[in-house]
Structure 1
Amino acid sequence: MFQIHIVDRSNQCDYQIHLEQHFRLRHKIYVDERGWHDLARPDGREVDEFDTEDATYLLAITPGEGVVAGSRLLPSLKPHLMSEVFPQLAPSGVPKADDIYEWTRIFVVSALREPGYPCVAAGAVYCGILEYCLRHRIRHLSIVCETYWFDRLARLGWNPRSLGPSLVHREETIIGLIVDMSPAALETTRRAYAIDGSVLWWKSISESEGEEAAQLRAETCNGLSQARG
């Protein structure tokens, strides 16, 4: 089973290598595969204005390949995609509260995607998001997404509600949603992907990967950290 690591401002230094891998995977998937060329960067890292210290990353990490899936959460009381770029998706007001976060940038490497079959890696990320939100008393997520996500999340018990009309962006129809983070949604999502128990990883990354990787991370944090922007 995939283990989902929570990476935030408190432990980003320990995960520098994995964060860099995650930014490069985002570029490969969103720019190279999906054709979002306005996000292209010469350094091959998909980083936007919301990849700040306020971001929380959920990364599926395997011992052999590193990051294979991931996503991002942002507090709704800070600048985020819906508030700054797509407020028109919520004409009655972008949802903002201590217990509301925004969910963006989910991805799974192509090797783990099988058309026509449930993607277990994606399911692990969904479960990780639900677990994290329940532990931190985050009751709702806002989402800017393609319209097909509405039915997908409804089947998983996330109770999606539209915040307003859809619009066409990058030749895709997108919508603003708000969904519920609930124990019932977690149980439904686990059943949908045949996941038993928690997917969250609570040990430090150094414990999971050994002394050599820990030394490499230390060197990265001390001398090789790159500016996000």
Structure 2
Amino acid sequence: MFKLHIVDWSNRLMYQDHLERHFRIRHEIYVLGRKWQQIERPVPLEIDAFDTRDAIYLLGIDDAGNLVGGSRLVPTTKPHLLSDVFPMLVRGAPPRDVDLYEWTRFFVMPSLRMTGRSSQPAGVVLCGLLEACLRLGIGRLSVVCEDFWPARLEQLGWSVTRLGEALDHPDGRIVALLIQISAAALQATRLSYGLGDGSVLARAD
């Protein structure tokens, strides 16, 4: 399997090659694979306005050094997708707080996916997300996602609140969610994916 590495501005130089690969994989998955034309650029890198020095990346790296999965966290006290692009998904103003981060760009490599159900590598990334939030003092996540995600996350034992109505978008039907981070959700997700009690986060250097 693999471990999730927490990468931020302070340690980015240690992961420079993996970050570049991360942006290339995002291009392959979201632009080429899922046809998200609104984020297409002249170079084969998927980098948006929220890939700033404030972003936190969770990079899944296997024992051979290959990048196989990942996610991104952005503080809601700064510009983020829900506040700047999709505020219409929220009843009222998009929520902001110091312990509230936006979760985006979840992926696992296509070769690790399974047809008809979520794969264990996806479970590693989800558990790593929850573990990272608990380690970093992040109490809640907001997310703009496809409208099938709320039911999937609730089945894992996550506490999910819909912030507004779903919206038909050129890239699919989307909805905004607020997710509560808890040790109980982490344990339930571990059980769902058969991951045991061991941490999926890489040891901090």
In the alignment, residue 70 of structure 1 is paired with which amino acid?
Answer: G
The equivalent residue for 2:203 is 202
The equivalent residue for 2:103 is 103
Q: Would the aligned equivalents of 2:91 and 2:164 in 1 still touch at CA under 8 Å?
A: yes
RMSD: 1.2
TM-superposed deviation, 1:136: 1.9
The equivalent residue for 2:120 is 120
The equivalent residue for 2:21 is 21
Equivalences for 1:3-18 in 2 at 5 Å? 3-18=3-18
> Deviation above 4 Å: which 4+ runs of structure 1?
none
Q: Would the aligned equivalents of 2:5 and 2:59 in 1 still touch at CA under 8 Å?
A: yes
Output the CA distance in 2 between the equivalents of 1:169 and 1:8: 31
In the alignment, residue 201 of structure 1 is paired with which amino acid?
Answer: A
Equivalenced residue count is 204
The equivalent residue for 1:220 is none
Q: Would the aligned equivalents of 1:72 and 1:103 in 2 still touch at CA under 8 Å?
A: yes
The equivalent residue for 1:185 is 185
Residues 152-211 of structure 1: per-residue CA shift (max 9 Å, x gap): 11011111111011111125110010011001100000011111210000154xxxxxxx
TM-superposed deviation, 1:30: 0.1
Secondary structure at 1:200's aligned position in 2?
coil
Output the CA distance in 2 between the equivalents of 1:182 and 1:147: 23
Q: Would the aligned equivalents of 1:60 and 1:121 in 2 still touch at CA under 8 Å?
A: no
TM-superposed deviation, 1:62: 1.2
Equivalences for 1:1-229 in 2 at 5 Å? 1-64=1-64, 66-196=66-196, 197-204=198-205
Output the CA distance in 2 between the equivalents of 1:171 and 1:34: 8
Which blocks of at least 5 consecutive residues in structure 1 are unaligned?
A: 205-229
The equivalent residue for 1:208 is none
Q: Would the aligned equivalents of 2:36 and 2:171 in 1 still touch at CA under 8 Å?
A: no
Q: Would the aligned equivalents of 1:57 and 1:71 in 2 still touch at CA under 8 Å?
A: yes
TM-superposed deviation, 1:70: 0.4
For residues 21 and 137 of structure 1, do their structure 2 counterparts lie closer, same or farther at Cα, with a shift above 3 Å needed? Answer: same
Output the CA distance in 1 between the equivalents of 2:27 and 2:102: 20
TM-score (norm 1): 0.86
Which blocks of at least 5 consecutive residues in structure 2 are unaligned?
A: none
In the alignment, residue 198 of structure 1 is paired with which amino acid?
Answer: S
Output the CA distance in 1 between the equivalents of 2:100 and 2:149: 19
TM-superposed deviation, 1:118: 3.0
Structure that is richer in helix per residue = 1
In the alignment, residue 42 of structure 2 is paired with which amino acid?
Answer: P
For residues 171 and 67 of structure 1, do their structure 2 counterparts lie closer, same or farther at Cα, with a shift above 3 Å needed? Answer: closer
Q: Would the aligned equivalents of 2:4 and 2:61 in 1 still touch at CA under 8 Å?
A: yes
Output the CA distance in 2 between the equivalents of 1:97 and 1:195: 31
Higher-Rg member (1/2):
1
Output the CA distance in 1 between the equivalents of 2:53 and 2:82: 18
Secondary structure at 1:176's aligned position in 2?
strand
TM-superposed deviation, 1:137: 1.9
Farther-moved stretch of structure 1 (166-175 vs 192-201): 166-175
Q: Percent identity?
A: 50
